[in-house]
Amino acid sequence: MESSTHTAAALAERFGLVLRGDGAAEIDAVATLAGAGPRQLSFLSNPRYRGQLAGSAAGIVVVREDDAAGLDRTLLVARDPYVAFAQIAALFDPPPVANPGVHPSAVVDAGAEVDARAEVGPLAVIGARSRIAAGAIVGPGCVIGEDCVVGAGSRLVARVTLVRRVRLGDRVLIHPGAVLGADGFGLAMDAGRWIKVPQQGGVAIGDDCEIGANTTIDRGAIEDTVLEEDVRLDNQIQVGHNVRIGAHTAMAGCVAVAGSAVIGRYCLIGGAAGIVGHITICDRVVIQAMSLVTSSIDVPGEYSSGTPLMDARSWRRSAARFRQLDALARQVQALDKEKT
C-alpha cells in the first residue's frame, strides 16, 4: 500500500461528495468502522454494521444521507458509500504499472511480439505468434501458448495459462492459476470407445473483465467462447466451450457453466450455482447460491432451487417424505374428491 495523506475537503471535491464537519481532517489509510483510528477513513454501507458507527474512532466516515442525520463528526455524504469508499481506497492501493522489459529468465518464442512498454516477469513463457500489447503485465510463471493476444494494460498476476487462441481485450485482470483456452470437453462414443472432437475455436475476453484464481474457460469447439466487456468472475468458476456471457454479468466463486449456455447482461450468479448446457438466460437474472438452472430463463428476476438447511434429524424425515411426495399428493387429491 502506498502512503499518502488526504483531507476531507480534498476528497469531497475529488469524488463529488458532500462534506460535513472538519474539512481539514486528514487521513492516510482506510479501515473498517470497528478497526479505524483518527487518521483513517471508514464507511457505512451494509446496514448490519450501523451499530458500529457511534463507537468508531475513524477520522472520516463515508455515509448515505439517511445515516448522516444527528452525527457530530466529520462525514462525507455519498449517494453510494461503497462506490465512494472503493474510489478513495484506490488512492492507497493503485494498480501496478508495467515495468517495461522481459525478465532474462522468461522464455519468449522468436515469433512472439512483445511491445516495448509491456512487462514480462520471471519464468514466464510466451509462444509463437502471440502478442503482448503496451502496458500489459505478464506475471511470474505465466504460460502463454500460440496465437494469443494480451490487450493493452491487461495484467496476468502470476502462473496464469492462456493455452491457445485466447484473445484478451484491454485492462483485463486475471488471477493466478486461471486456465483459459484449454480444449473444450467434446467427445463422441464410437464402437465402445470415446473419440475426441477437435476444439478449433478460441476464447475472446472483452475489455475490463476480471477472472478469478483457478477459474477455467475452455476454447470453443468451432467458434469462440466469449465474455463480453466488464464480466467479473470470482475464483474456481468453470466455463465450458462455446459459452457466451453478457456484459457486466458477475459470478461468485465455484459456479459451473456447461457448454453452449448463453447468459445475458447484468446477471448475478450466486456461488456454486450450476447452469446446464445449450440454454439461454436473459438479461438481469439473479441466481441464488448453489441453485441449478436446467432450462432457459426469459423473465428477469431472482431464481432458486434446493431446500433449506435443517438439523440432520429433521432433515432425514423431510427427505424421506420427499421420496413419497407424488403418492402424498395423490392421496390428498383422493381425499379432496371424496369429501363431497
Residues touching a second copy, count (CB under 8 A): 129
CB-side neighbour CA atoms (13 Å) of 287: 32
209: phi then psi, degrees, rounded to nearest 5:
-80, 155
Q: How far apart are CA 279 and CA 186, in angstroms?
A: 17
Stretch that binds a second copy, among 53-61, 66-74, 112-120, 288-296 (CB under 8 A): 288-296
Site string for a second copy, 136-175 (x = CB under 8 A): ---xxx-x-x-----------xxx-x-x---------x-x
Is 185 a residue that touches a second copy (CB under 8 A)? yes
For residue 237, count other CB atoms closer than 10 A to its CB: 25
C-alpha–C-alpha distance, residues 24 and 146, integer Å: 55
Q: How far is the CB of 300 from a second copy (least distance, A)?
A: 11
- 241 counts as catalytic: yes
Enumerate residues 318-337 that contact a second copy by CB under 8 A: 318-326, 328-329, 331-332, 335-336
Interactions with a second copy, residue window 61-90 (CB under 8 A)? 80, 82-83, 85-87, 89-90
Contact 19, 12 (CB under 8 A): yes
Binding residues among 97-136 for a second copy as defined by CB under 8 A = 103, 105, 107, 121-123, 125
What interhelical angle do 81-89 and 8-15 show, nearest 10?
A: 110
Of the candidate residues 183, 282, 283, 284, the single one contacting a second copy (CB under 8 A): 183
Amino acid identity at 221: A
Residues 40-59 that bind a second copy (CB under 8 A): 46, 48
Q: Which range touches a second copy (CB under 8 A), out of 3-11, 53-61, 130-138, 180-188? A: 180-188
Would you state the cell numbers that stand for residue 323, as one nine-digit string? 421420496
CB 120 within 8 A of CB 106: yes
- Enumerate the active-site residues: 241
